[in-house]
């Protein structure tokens, strides 16, 4: 009890204050597994585009938990009842929903622990913490895994209008300075309700939901899928892939022993407690540190990629709606191979294409529901008189081609 008072309140530029509501949450926040999130950037390498974007997973997790508390307050005010344990479990589940993220969040999901999603790792962390806490997270885990019998708790953790999104869209917009992406989280939350144990919004929320979907769409194209951001992320993935193949052929590469452990491994299915503990020691500094050492490595692909990211000397990128032709890619490959004096397979680290896609709203899964004054429930897609949410549900796919600027 004593210790609680010390961290009871956390300053937050967005909500003013975030209160740590009870001993369980305090214990989780204090845990080294959670403190680690202070060293993991929420937006990966996006700070190369938006220099303000250095906020962390730690801060986002606290923010989402704060919104979860606000959502429960609103629901309670409207007559929804729940136990103290349910409240605490929801907050715990929200707090831990992203604890499985590795260095630079998404970028590394595809390279360091290839094939293991951060959601899966979050669950492993929760189970480990649950063991340490003697089962106090049983209900939180059930909510997280959709096994709890009041589905709205899961929807608040993970859904099309969950507190995760409500926090990160607002937070990312705030820290990047892309103020157009700002959503009014508090307003949306104030219109939440429960119907048949499912999350719904009051009918009048329709215009706010539309604006939320459009703001999210804007954040995707302008921030999360920003051209320079794509280049940086792809370069990091290529770099780690290169490092991995150099390790395989026995080359010496400076890196932390924990990072080496994962970089030398192929199979990540067997994530026991010990492997998890090693994973929990990784953060952004492992990657940054390694890149800084690799700048001097004799392998020119490795050193060049490292320097490009560190010094923000990135590739050019073209974006279009059709796939790039093999001819166009080959043209760049040939050119780069000649200019940089690299064999074609190594030139492909600097010339590559791929695709990104974005879907503003998912019609099929977990629709956002409105509750009319008469007590009927309808999908926002039906409710929106004009904004064609059906169209907004079509995924948009774009193709990119990255290549170095021509040397004159």
Q: Name which of residues 187 to 246 contact its own copies (CB under 8 A).
A: 187, 190, 207-208, 210-211, 214-215, 217-218, 221-222
Say if CB 389 and CB 380 are below 8 A apart: yes
Other Cβ atoms less than 10 A from the Cβ of 256: the count is 16
Dihedral angle over CA of 200, 202, 208, 210, nearest 10: 60
User: Considering the complex, what minimum distance in angstroms separates the CB of residue 26 from its own copies?
Assistant: 12
- Distance from the Cα of residue 315 to its chain's centroid: 24
How many whole angstroms separate alpha carbon 121 and alpha carbon 118?
Answer: 5
Residues 265-294 contacting its own copies, CB under 8 A: 281, 283-286, 288-289, 292-293
Residues 105-134 contacting its own copies, CB under 8 A: none
Q: Which of 16, 298, 343, 375 binds its own copies (CB under 8 A)?
A: 16
How many whole angstroms separate alpha carbon 268 and alpha carbon 121?
Answer: 11
How many whole angstroms separate alpha carbon 78 and alpha carbon 138?
Answer: 27
Q: Which of 104, 175, 294, 350 binds its own copies (CB under 8 A)?
A: 175
Site residue total, its own copies (CB under 8 A): 71
How many whole angstroms separate alpha carbon 332 and alpha carbon 183?
Answer: 41
Say if CB 33 and CB 125 are below 8 A apart: yes
Helix or strand or coil: residue 253?
A: coil
Residues 330-389 contacting its own copies, CB under 8 A: 360, 385-388
16 versus 250: smaller Cβ distance to its own copies: 16
User: Considering the complex, what minimum distance in angstroms separates the CB of residue 164 from its own copies?
Assistant: 17
Q: Which of 78, 248, 312, 326 binds its own copies (CB under 8 A)?
A: 312
Total residue length of the chain: 408
The reply to whether 176 sits near its own copies by the rule CB under 8 A is yes
The reply to whether 185 sits near its own copies by the rule CB under 8 A is no
Q: Which of 1, 32, 250, 322 binds its own copies (CB under 8 A)?
A: 32
Residues 48-107 contacting its own copies, CB under 8 A: 48, 50-52, 54-56, 58-59, 62
How many whole angstroms separate alpha carbon 163 and alpha carbon 159?
Answer: 9
245 versus 394: smaller Cβ distance to its own copies: 394
């Amino acid at each position: 009890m004593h210790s609680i008072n010390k961290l009871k309140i956390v300053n937050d530029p967005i909500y003013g204050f975030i209160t740590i509501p009870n001993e369980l949450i305090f214990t989780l926040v204090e845990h080294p597994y959670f403190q680690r999130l202070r060293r993991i950037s929420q937006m990966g390498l996006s700070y190369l585009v938006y220099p303000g974007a250095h906020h962390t997973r730690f801060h986002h997790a606290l923010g989402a938990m704060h919104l979860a508390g606000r959502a429960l307050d609103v629901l309670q005010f409207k007559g929804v009842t729940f136990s103290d344990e349910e409240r605490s479990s929801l907050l715990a589940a929200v707090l831990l929903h992203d604890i499985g993220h590795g260095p630079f969040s998404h970028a590394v999901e595809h390279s360091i622990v290839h094939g293991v999603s951060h959601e899966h790792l979050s669950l492993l962390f929760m189970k480990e913490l649950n063991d340490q806490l003697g089962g106090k997270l049983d209900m939180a885990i059930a909510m997280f895994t959709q096994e709890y019998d009041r589905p709205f708790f899961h929807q608040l953790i993970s859904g099309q209008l969950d507190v995760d999104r409500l926090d990160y869209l607002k937070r990312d917009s705030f820290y990047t300075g892309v103020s157009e992406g700002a959503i009014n989280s508090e307003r949306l939350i104030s219109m939440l309700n429960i119907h048949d144990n499912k999350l719904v919004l009051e009918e009048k929320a329709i215009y706010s939901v539309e604006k939320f979907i459009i703001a999210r769409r804007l954040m995707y194209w302008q921030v999360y899928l920003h051209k320079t951001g794509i280049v940086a992320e792809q370069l990091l993935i290529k770099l780690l892939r290169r490092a991995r193949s150099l390790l395989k052929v026995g080359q010496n590469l400076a890196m932390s022993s924990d990072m080496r452990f994962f970089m030398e491994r192929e199979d990540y299915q067997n994530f026991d407690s010990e492997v998890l503990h090693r994973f929990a020691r990784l953060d952004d500094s492992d990657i940054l540190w390694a890149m800084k050492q690799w700048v001097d490595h004799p392998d020119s692909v490795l050193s060049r990629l490292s320097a490009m990211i560190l010094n923000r000397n990135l590739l050019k990128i073209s974006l279009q709606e059709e796939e790039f032709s093999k001819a166009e890619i080959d043209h760049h490959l040939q050119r780069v191979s000649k200019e940089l004096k690299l064999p074609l397979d190594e030139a492909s680290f600097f010339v590559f294409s791929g695709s990104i896609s974005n879907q503003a709203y998912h019609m099929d899964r977990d629709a956002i529901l409105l509750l009319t004054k008469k007590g009927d429930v309808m999908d926002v897609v039906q409710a929106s008189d004009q904004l064609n949410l059906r169209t907004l549900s079509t995924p948009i796919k774009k193709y990119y081609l990255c290549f170095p600027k021509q040397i004159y």
